């Protein structure tokens, strides 16, 4: 059984850092590589960070129903191809998605058991410091990201878990803890339990329903 973990956050909150920690420190996870129409940045590799495709190809895939979810984020299309989930299921792995709030809402409707996690910086001031320390964006882009963050954080209540990323190690441990706890939900371990129960034989006569 594959559990789908959806992680969203305003830019600069530390989502990529946390997801990288999660992927390297917890076994049995596969990262969903999204399709996007935005241009590759820095050292990004097609097929690894994203599948970089053009708008007409993306629109063709929308029409063909190839996306589990898709959204327009800052003027570019982003979407999760259905094959990402198929591949994770075939490999018996859990799937981790780094997608925006619109995509998370669409996917939660389609896969109600998906686990949603929102990452939040401790304050606007700290978010701004992190965006500046990352030295990736111009002043204009940083201000736009901060304005977007003010909107995006209002959606935290749509998520199952909210991680305040203050101390990185603590936040990373919490994220790993969420994944590990979700993996021992009864529905996830039902198949493992039955053979264990079988080793104990039939329930004793007179056992009440809760014991059966
Ligand atoms: P996002 O993927 O959400 O845009 P990043 O993972 O790129 O954010 O993090 C933004 C910047 O903040 C990076 O320079 C990263 O090293 C730093 N950072 C992330 N988490 C913390 C933290 N808990 N404390 C201090 N700096 C952090
Ligand atoms: P970036 O361009 O900085 O990599 O990502 C911009 C935003 O798009 C981030 O909030 C990221 O989570 C989101 N995103 C990335 N892939 C997908 C996707 O497949 N679907 C949706 N809905 N959002 C995505």
Domains of the chain (ranges plus CATH)? 4-189 (3.40.50.300)
pTM of the model: 0.94
Pairing of strands 94-98, 115-120: unpaired
pLDDT value at residue 9? 97
Q: Determine the pLDDT at residue 209.
A: 64
**What is the structure's pLDDT at 83?**
98
150 closest CA partner among 11, 56, 4 = 11
C-alpha 199 to ligand 2 mean position (Å): 48
Which residues on neighbouring strands pair with residue 3, listed in sequence order? none
Return the SS3 of 209: helix
Residue 67 CA: nearest ligand 2 atom is: 19
User: Helix (H, G, I), strand (E, B), or coil: what is residue 175?
Assistant: helix
- Ligand 2 neighbours by CB, cut-off 6 Å: 11, 34, 38, 69, 71, 73, 78-80, 98-100, 102-103
Residue pointed to by tokens 């970089």 = 52
Residue whose Cα lies nearest atom 15 of ligand 1: it is 14
pLDDT of 212 strictly over 60: no
The encoded tokens of residue 144 equal 């736009």
Query: Is residue 3 scored above 80 in pLDDT?
Result: yes
Sign of the CA dihedral with 130 first, then 47, 31, and 77 last: positive
The pLDDT value recorded for residue 208 is 65
116 lines ligand 1 (CB under 6 A): no
Tell me which residue has tokens 């111009």.
138
Which ligand approaches the C-alpha of residue 15 most closely? 1
Distance, in Å, from the CA atom of 12 to the CA atom of 10, rounded to the nearest integer, reads: 6
Q: How far is the CA of 175 from the centre of ligand 1 (A)?
A: 15
Q: 41 pLDDT band (50/70/90 cuts)?
A: confident
Residue 11 CA, distance from chain mean position: 14
Residue 136's pLDDT band, with cuts at 50, 70 and 90, is confident
The rounded distance, in Å, linking the Cα atoms of 108 and 189 is 22
Helix (H) or strand (E) holding 189: helix 186-199
Q: Return mean pLDDT, the chain.
A: 94
What pLDDT digit, counting tens, does each position of 48-88 carry? Answer: 999 999 999 999 999 999 999 999 998 999 999 999 999 99
């Amino acid at each position: 059984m594959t559990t789908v973990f959806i992680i969203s956050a305003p830019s600069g909150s530390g989502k990529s850092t946390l997801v990288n920690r999660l992927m390297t420190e917890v076994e049995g996870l596969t990262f969903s590589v999204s399709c996007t129409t935005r241009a590759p940045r820095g050292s990004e590799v097609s097929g690894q960070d994203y599948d970089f495709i053009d708008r007409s190809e993306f629109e063709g895939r929308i029409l063909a129903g190839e996306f589990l979810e898709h959204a327009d984020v800052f003027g570019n299309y982003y979407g999760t191809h259905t094959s990402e989930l198929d591949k994770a299921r075939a490999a018996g792995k859990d799937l981790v998605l780094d997608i925006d709030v619109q995509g998370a809402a669409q996917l939660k409707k389609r896969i109600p058991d998906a686990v949603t996690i929102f990452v939040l910086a401790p304050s606007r001031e700290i978010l701004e410091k992190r965006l500046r320390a990352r030295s990736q964006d111009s002043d204009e882009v940083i201000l736009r990201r901060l304005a977007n963050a003010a909107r995006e954080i209002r959606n935290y209540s749509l998520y199952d878990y909210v991680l305040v990323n203050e101390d990185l190690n603590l936040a990373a441990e919490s994220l790993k803890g969420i994944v590990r706890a979700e993996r021992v939900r009864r529905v996830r371990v039902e198949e493992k339990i039955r053979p264990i129960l079988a080793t104990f034989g039939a329930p004793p006569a007179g056992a009440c329903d809760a014991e059966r």
